[in-house]
Structure 1
């Protein structure tokens, strides 16, 4: 294969990765997530955010809420970003906001249940416990380092009014229904466990509830602001996600070529068929993961932090690609990858950097990588 042909293969792998991402995630995951983010920014009152998630909020309430928020969200490291950006823009403290950022993709119910079912019950339980613990620890550390800078991100625009009443005074059931229906739409649309023949009847009443609330309880200005905020997050975040995903495809293609494979050839591993550029990075490191060591746990954390993993994909990656179900991967690196993988990725880091700046992003990424490594070592060497 000539150098020109190799270059074409690499570029095709980048395009293939990007198209796969668009096909799998734009409609079912990102669109609902962008609308939820726009709703957080336009509808959720400053009083609520500052009361429960600001740097001045009671730590027990703020970090408890932020650390378990992911239980209700079946989202990946990129889908969580619009909601995180919405909270941070609205004035949430850096500690609770980053705890939410980590917990969102790390502890969603579908991922925990799938991990326990496909890999092992102990590993699924360890993932849940360590994810909640890490979310709180990461948030508290971020608040300790940058807490004095909280409030820089808060908007100062006046509250939207509704017939002379501040939006923050809207009945709780209306706000709950507005966000609850959207979260439920996201959960149902994003899951791969249901067919669209089942999803359709489940989604219809949720859209009906959302439509009724918008018609009966929101005025035209509030709805327009919701759309404007949704568009703001879309145009700010979506291009970065596409660029980052394309780069991931290029990295996978180079790893495939280094092993003598065509980036687009198919490979069967553990009964599953993959395109070479999607699995090549893991094939390069498989021999290292046979036991729990600082190197294997650290490498598992690093691979998870760099690669983009759609929700639930981390389970077959650990089980089949890296061979956990066949005894080829030890418990320590498996847990480290499961913790870091859903919460970080190259596209994810780019958007976080744009949202909270270089210093905060560097510390957050470091905390996730180090905490995932330590959790893997503790689990693989002491608790198993």
Structure 2
């Protein structure tokens, strides 16, 4: 596109700044910068209107996070040299998994908003194993989620959430990277010559490239992501929380807690409020921990979006391991008898 150089710089970075401000403002003030659509009781809506209301609420709440995340993914792809990615986020280096898991908690975004960042890492040359570790760790145990968990539930659950999410994200990334289908995905992204070419471009050209890469991620991820959100709207509308909470005790409760986190997708931090209400209804603490780990790591909308980037075999591999991690975490916590 024949735009002046200053616009090629201004547009991408203005969008990034806008997304960051809209994302950060409610974290600081406690209220959103722009109005958020509230849908009330979903089951009272006509069948056709349920997903529309849910998606409207979701997008009005999360659009800032998405703008920032998609632009950040494009920036990673356009600006980060491939050599740096191979040095710090290589699937062959065990330290890369620890590095990815340690850096991820600063991103206080939900699993869906992490997808474009994950895609940007892959396109910039990161190994699929550390990139997956990053993808799983950020929504499961970001700093804001941990702070809210301490405030609303307990510090014991927050510490357990951090420890098991860290160990799980590192282990899952490492194990999945060993599978032939994940290796094939990594080779496909490593063959991209974008990073090698972009390193010779000027700042304006790289900035514009970041915008085009962000748009590529939007086209790849957003359609299936919204389909997943629509599916979840019906689950939230018609699955009674009281019925679910009555089964969330004991060993079966832990297993169910790990599994129901998959369809019960919530925006980041909302899962803490949901678990607080389920605990009040009788949900066991170990089952709550399993939910807090399994849900953010393997939600339906997130898996649908990620599948466009790495294929279903890789997605199902990490999702099954995420549910297993959540189950093991809940069982260990139950065995220790820590409680709240």
TM-score (norm 2): 0.81
Name the structure 2 match of 1:350.
304
Which has the larger displacement, 343-352 or 78-87?
343-352
Name the structure 1 match of 2:324.
370
Q: Deviations over 1:61-98 (max 9, x none)?
A: x0111112222110101000000111122222221111
Superposed displacement of residue 7, structure 1 = 11
Name the structure 2 match of 1:312.
269
User: Secondary structure at 1:69's aligned position in 2?
Assistant: helix
Alignment of 1:1-384 (within 5 A): 9-26=46-63, 28-56=64-92, 58-60=93-95, 62-146=96-180, 148-149=183-184, 150-154=186-190, 155-157=192-194, 159-160=196-197, 166=200, 219-255=203-239, 280=240, 282-289=241-248, 291-293=249-251, 295-320=252-277, 322=278, 324=279, 326=280, 328-384=282-338
Q: Which ranges in structure 2 are unaligned for 5 or more consecutive residues?
A: 1-42
Superposed displacement of residue 114, structure 1 = 0.7
TM-score (norm 1): 0.72
- Checking the alignment, whether the CA contact within 8 Å between 2:290 and 2:327 is kept in structure 1 is yes
Cα distance in 1 for partners of 2:210, 2:183 equals 30
Superposed displacement of residue 160, structure 1 = 4.1
Q: Deviations over 1:257-277 (max 9, x none)?
A: xxxxxxxxxxxxxxxxxxxxx
Cα distance in 1 for partners of 2:177, 2:300 equals 24
Q: Say which one has the larger Rg.
A: 1
Cα distance in 2 for partners of 1:159, 1:110 equals 36
Cα distance in 2 for partners of 1:231, 1:328 equals 45
Cα distance in 2 for partners of 1:158, 1:145 equals 25
Name the structure 1 match of 2:36.
none
Superposed displacement of residue 353, structure 1 = 1.3
Task: Count how many residue pairs are aligned between Structure 1 and Structure 2.
Answer: 293
| Structure 1 consecutive aligned stretches of length 4 or more whose deviation exceeds 4 Å | none
- Checking the alignment, whether the CA contact within 8 Å between 1:91 and 1:151 is kept in structure 2 is no
C-alpha spacing 1:118/1:8, structure 2 compared with 1 (3 Å): closer
Q: Which ranges in structure 1 are unaligned for 5 or more consecutive residues?
A: 1-5, 168-217, 256-279
- Checking the alignment, whether the CA contact within 8 Å between 2:51 and 2:234 is kept in structure 1 is yes
Name the structure 1 match of 2:35.
none
Superposed displacement of residue 359, structure 1 = 1.3
Cα distance in 2 for partners of 1:94, 1:283 equals 39
